[in-house]
């Protein structure tokens, strides 16, 4: 794809477009917007023959897209400074994530319903926003393609049944940020994010 300002204007919140575009110009990475992936929202990788690359899923709302993008830029910054030595989401990455987001953390740039949970999350950011329930719920307010009847898993009672990806589960006990749920057909148990969007059945 052509990495020009128009692409950034399409996917990012309007107030953040120029800043995110300047990050791309500064670090000169290949930026790919990909089809939706169940396993991840975005990623960063480096290869000697191809250089730096950042990908972000195309189906994210503008604020989720922004958070994912800055998350991956922080990986690039960490790699350029330290190589592969630090932990993937260690203190070095956390520092770059906070510092890179800092110019955007104001009410002129972000709505308050995103700003407050985002500031809290950045105090000690995790590997994924899926485990940061307040921020995840705030970001989901801006989703436009949520299926009618969907609800967040955490809102269901233990023992209730729900549908996810065409399969029916029974909600079980909470394990940190995920619920241990049982596939009604196979009897197998799976851990599912507490903020997953599901349909009660």
Kindly indicate the confidence band of residue 131, based on its pLDDT and cuts at 50, 70 and 90.
low
So what's the pLDDT on residue 28?
93
Residue 27's nearest CA partner among 49, 48, 53 is 53
So what's the pLDDT on residue 1?
46
User: Tens digit of pLDDT for each residue in 33-52?
Assistant: 999 876 788 999 999 999 99
Domain boundaries, the chain: 5-140, 150-200
Q: Kindly report the number of other CB atoms within 10 A of residue 120's CB atom.
A: 12
Q: How far is CA 195 from CA 108, 178, 181, in A?
A: 28, 8, 14
pTM: 0.77
So what's the pLDDT on residue 146?
64
Q: What is the mean pLDDT of the chain?
A: 91
Q: How far apart are CA 145 and CA 136, in angstroms?
A: 16
Q: How far is CA 57 from CA 61, 77, 180, in A?
A: 10, 20, 27
Beta strands in the chain (DSSP E): 30-34, 42-47, 51-57, 150-152, 161-164, 167-170, 174-175, 178-183, 189-193, 197-200
H or E segment to which residue 120 belongs: helix 112-122
Does residue 125 contact residue 100 with C-beta atoms inside 8 Å? no
User: Tens digit of pLDDT for each residue in 58-115?
Assistant: 999 999 999 999 999 999 999 999 998 999 899 999 999 999 999 999 999 999 999 9
Tokens standing for residue 3: 């990495």
Please give the average per-residue pLDDT across 168-185, as a whole number.
Answer: 91
Q: Which fold has domain 5-140?
A: Zincin-like (3.30.2010)
User: Tens digit of pLDDT for each residue in 2-11?
Assistant: 458 899 999 9
**CATH 3.30.565.10 applies to domain 150-200:** no
């Amino acid at each position: 794809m052509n990495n020009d300002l128009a692409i950034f204007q399409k996917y990012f919140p309007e107030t953040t477009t120029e800043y995110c575009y300047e990050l791309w110009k500064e670090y000169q990475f290949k930026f790919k917007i990909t089809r939706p992936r169940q396993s991840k929202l975005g990623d960063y990788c480096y290869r000697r023959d191809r250089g730096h690359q950042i990908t972000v899923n195309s189906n994210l709302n503008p604020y989720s897209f922004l958070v994912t993008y800055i998350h991956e830029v922080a990986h690039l910054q960490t790699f350029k400074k330290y190589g592969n030595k630090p932990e993937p989401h260690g203190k070095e990455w956390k520092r770059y994530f906070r510092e890179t987001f800092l110019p955007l953390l104001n009410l002129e740039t972000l709505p308050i319903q995103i700003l407050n949970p985002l500031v809290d999350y950045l105090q000690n950011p995790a590997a994924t926003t899926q485990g940061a329930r307040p921020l995840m719920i705030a970001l989901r307010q801006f989703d436009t393609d949520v299926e009618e009847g969907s609800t967040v898993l955490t809102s269901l009672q233990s023992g209730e049944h729900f549908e996810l990806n065409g399969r029916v589960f029974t909600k079980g006990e909470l394990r940190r940020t995920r619920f241990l749920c049982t596939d009604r057909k196979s009897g197998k148990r799976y851990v599912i994010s507490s903020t997953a969007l599901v349909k009660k059945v």
